[in-house]
Amino acid sequence: MTRSRTSTAPCPWRAVVHSQPMHVGGGTGSFTSLFVREMLTRAFLAVAAMGLAGLGSVVGDRVSPEWGGFLGALAGLALGIAVLVAVLRRRS
């Protein structure tokens, strides 16, 4: 078998007829289990970001009744989105 100079794969990509995501341990799982796990992870992270926005709004409102709630919600949401991005980058 000849290797392509631009590919680092052990076999030509045209030879692959079926691909499936693998678990950390090396086994494969069903599409449904992988989809549900990914969907639940993203939903949990989104709810956590919204919770941080709500918490930031409450804390900000106590600090400054005029603009504190809005600015606190923005700060909490920014923190939640930063956590979401960090977790998703680490998982991929």
Residue 1 structure tokens: 């078998």
Contacts of 33 (CB under 8 A, 6+ apart): none
Tell me 57's DSSP state. H
pLDDT one-digit tens code per residue, 19-71: 666 667 766 777 788 889 889 999 999 999 999 999 999 999 999 989 999 99
**Residue matched to tokens 């590919």:** 7
The whole-angstrom separation of Cα 51 and Cα 5 is 50
For position 2, what pLDDT does the model report? 54
The pTM score is: 0.63
Separation in Å, CA 58 to CA 15, 44, 46 = 57, 21, 19
Two structure tokens written together for 56: 């930031």
pLDDT of res. 33 = 83
